[in-house]
Structure 1
């Protein structure tokens, strides 16, 4: 999602002391209508064979929303607004655009191990929307995220090029629906190749920008497009308290918060998370992955 034109300016707030997380920072639903290229194919249910052995247990199929009219990709922005069941999903975009390889080679960091370490230390489940190019650049980190039950990994395109004409100055796919579909499929391939065994059948448009053409282009892939209802404002921000306050002011039951897992372009995110998490827990919120919110929403239809 990151683009310099998308920066959200918010007032500076007083920084709180950081928690003692040094050790942790050192380490770095309902049945889907279409499983999609990012979902795990459901295995046969466990059963006894004639020899008395048991087959492999079934892999639960991740929940998705039903396709929209005309096969349009369904769009999810938040879960149920039930005050009695206060859940919130923190999501992190692991952005890296296809043409940023030279910048990475020169030393710019598009990952954020300290942030992931903090989430682990605080035991916060989260959903990471990963570009295929990021997975290629950081395969060990992608693999670790994909195999850690605290997290789920979803698709943020391969190239991080815009699927619409004007999206915060991002390069575009020129409205080519074949390129759009191929870009999503290529991301799933790259994420799996990095060692993520079961990427979720969720897709976040670069910049969040989409229209009917792009929704139709990826509709056949069986994914649910995941947006958000709370913008963290961490892109290019340096004031961690300002980011935290923007999140805390916006969260409601069922909220999906968009933040970033990109050290160079979102340097305040890890510090902001250390304020956001205890405050929301104090308010009675429970942190969940996006799949739980989608499952709760789909079950109501």
Structure 2
């Protein structure tokens, strides 16, 4: 008999505490397609050309790391130990449950995706991605410095590669109660059970790789923070409906967005200002903290005071979400 959902979550938490989850492979897979931006999925700015991925993938120019093994996706045996065995059982249960499921959607939405806050009191959530990789390991010190100076809370979605490249910065951010640390994946992949791609970034190839993309960085964050993250956002923010259900089964909330605040770190400061000041009550704003040369910091620095003057307040996702 397969384990219950309660047993599944307990097993994953145990495995995450030891950092034993294996990371999945990469690859484009059959049927990779160019994405179509859903209507109303984020703010656009005048004067921009082809849309950039909301998480900055087109600037990063990097692809997910190569598979860790030469075998089929997720074929590596877990290391010995009770926690590893528990994690393997949980992974196997999800593969069994969803392995034959056919996705019916692909984009920024899906079952359980949080794209707007439930609060109706004028709250706005600023969220900043750090995508990692050869062109994505930077740190926007001016942006974080402004948030600290104005005491503006935010949720920071950190990729495993960015954490590895910035350990002192990570420790300082994690120790600051102004910020909530969230999961931006292990290899920064679009979350697909069938190998679909977004913005030429290869997605996960199957259910096992979806699990690995979530739990690899979840294990790292759990070990570093002392508790698991509550929120997850995939590379490019793309996912299919089957992957969305897997995120929920693993005990995390997939965080989408209401407003694309910096166009994948391609907007000028003025465009960032216009996009962010247009955010209404309950909006989740997606922007970036790993491209210090972009217009994000300067645009946020002018947009936030305007919104505060209009009576808006800023919250972390956990302050206003389930």
**Shorter-normalised TM range:** 0.5 to 0.7
What corresponds to 2:58 in structure 1?
none
**Alpha-carbon distance between aligned partners in 1 of 2:267 and 2:127, rounded to the nearest angstrom:** 19
What corresponds to 1:136 in structure 2?
164
Matching of residue 292 in structure 1 with residue 319 in structure 2: yes
What corresponds to 1:94 in structure 2?
130
SS at match of 1:218: helix
Structure 1 unaligned blocks of 5 or more: 13-69, 296-301
**Alpha-carbon distance between aligned partners in 2 of 1:9 and 1:73, rounded to the nearest angstrom:** 25
Matching of residue 202 in structure 1 with residue 221 in structure 2: no
Shift in alpha-carbon separation, 1:247–1:10, aligned structure 2, 3 A: same
TM (normalized to structure 1)?
0.66
Q: 1:73: Cα distance to partner?
A: 6.0
SS at match of 1:119: helix
What corresponds to 1:166 in structure 2?
197
**Alpha-carbon distance between aligned partners in 2 of 1:158 and 1:233, rounded to the nearest angstrom:** 23
Question: Equivalent residues in 2 for 1:177-196 (5 A)?
Answer: 177-193=207-223, 195-196=224-225
SS at match of 1:76: coil
Q: 1:147: Cα distance to partner?
A: 1.4
Q: 1:187: Cα distance to partner?
A: 0.4
Q: 1:238: Cα distance to partner?
A: 5.0
What corresponds to 2:277 in structure 1?
248
Q: 1:183: Cα distance to partner?
A: 1.6
**Alpha-carbon distance between aligned partners in 2 of 1:124 and 1:189, rounded to the nearest angstrom:** 28
Structure 2 unaligned blocks of 5 or more: 1-35, 48-100, 102-109
Shift in alpha-carbon separation, 1:287–1:276, aligned structure 2, 3 A: same
- The Cα offsets for residues 212-257 of structure 1, whole Å up to 9 and x where unpaired, read as 22123333211111111111134242520111101212x1111110
TM (normalized to structure 2)?
0.62
Q: 1:9: Cα distance to partner?
A: 5.6
**Alpha-carbon distance between aligned partners in 2 of 1:235 and 1:76, rounded to the nearest angstrom:** 19
- Which residue of 153, 162, 174 corresponds with 1:125? 153
SS at match of 1:124: coil
What corresponds to 2:268 in structure 1?
239
- Judge conservation of contact 1:78–1:293 (CA < 8 Å) in 2: no
Q: Give the aligned CA root-mean-square deviation in angstroms.
A: 2.5
Q: 1:275: Cα distance to partner?
A: 0.7
- The Cα offsets for residues 48-78 of structure 1, whole Å up to 9 and x where unpaired, read as xxxxxxxxxxxxxxxxxxxxxx9x9621111
Q: 1:293: Cα distance to partner?
A: 1.7
Question: Equivalent residues in 2 for 1:265-280 (5 A)?
Answer: 267-280=294-307
Q: 1:258: Cα distance to partner?
A: 0.4
Shift in alpha-carbon separation, 1:238–1:255, aligned structure 2, 3 A: closer
Q: 1:113: Cα distance to partner?
A: 1.9
